[in-house]
Amino acid sequence: MDVSKMLEGKTAIVTGGTRGIGFSVVQRFLEAGAKVTLFGSRQETVDKALDKIKSENPDAEVMGLYPSLGDYAEVEKAVQSVKEAFGRLDILVNNAGISARESLYEYKPEDFENIMTLNVNAVFNCSKAAAAIMKEQGGGSVINMSSMVSIYGQPAGCGYPASKFAVNGLTKSLARELGKDQIRVNAVAPGVTRTDMVAALPDEMVQRISSTIPLGRVGEPEEVANAVLFLASDLASYVTGEILSVDGATQV
């Protein structure tokens, strides 16, 4: 499918954009004609991602930053620098996040706090900073990364599904609040996706996981990125407040 003009003239920020689903979103947005800023956790990972992009697409209009997403002042400064560099901000993808698998009995309170800081507070911080710019421009699109566990929960690591339930709540509430400013807010809820973590699993484990999925396989990062692209584009101009599952109808 030719997506070369779907985001022509638009500028985007993708948090957690250095690898996995986030990196695929960055690539898809660039293919669709957007100017993109990827946010990473540190300079080394940002530089590595930018080098990979530039080696494949030397003309890509892309840059990278690494603000602490839990610090609103840093986030606001970074978001403003994107506007200064590219002239506007049309799309925000809140993709950065961390997961957890610890039993409640072993879960350290500081680890629970950390997951809330990156998975929830960062979404609030980035959305607040971006929405101020989008409102001035007359609109924009925010896409949050949720998860299938925001619907089903999971048997350990309660901080992760709790954080994604919160992301869903932010998505639905901000869609209602920001609609008057023509800012659409949606979320994508991926199922098991072939990220680095899944790729490192033994084949028999991946096959066992796949057997619970009606489509018979795990998802690919590019497939999640396609859903994000749709929600970011004008094709979804009347779609807001939605949690779009991209999970192959996973049976939990």
State the catalytic residues.
Answer: 160
- What whole-number distance in Å separates Cα of residue 163 and Cα of residue 174? 16
CB–CB of 17/40 below 8 Å? yes
Sequence-ordered list of residues with C-beta below 8 angstroms from that of 174, at least 6 positions apart, any chain: 127, 131, 142, 183, 185
Q: What angle do CA 39, 44, 48 make, to 5 degrees?
A: 80
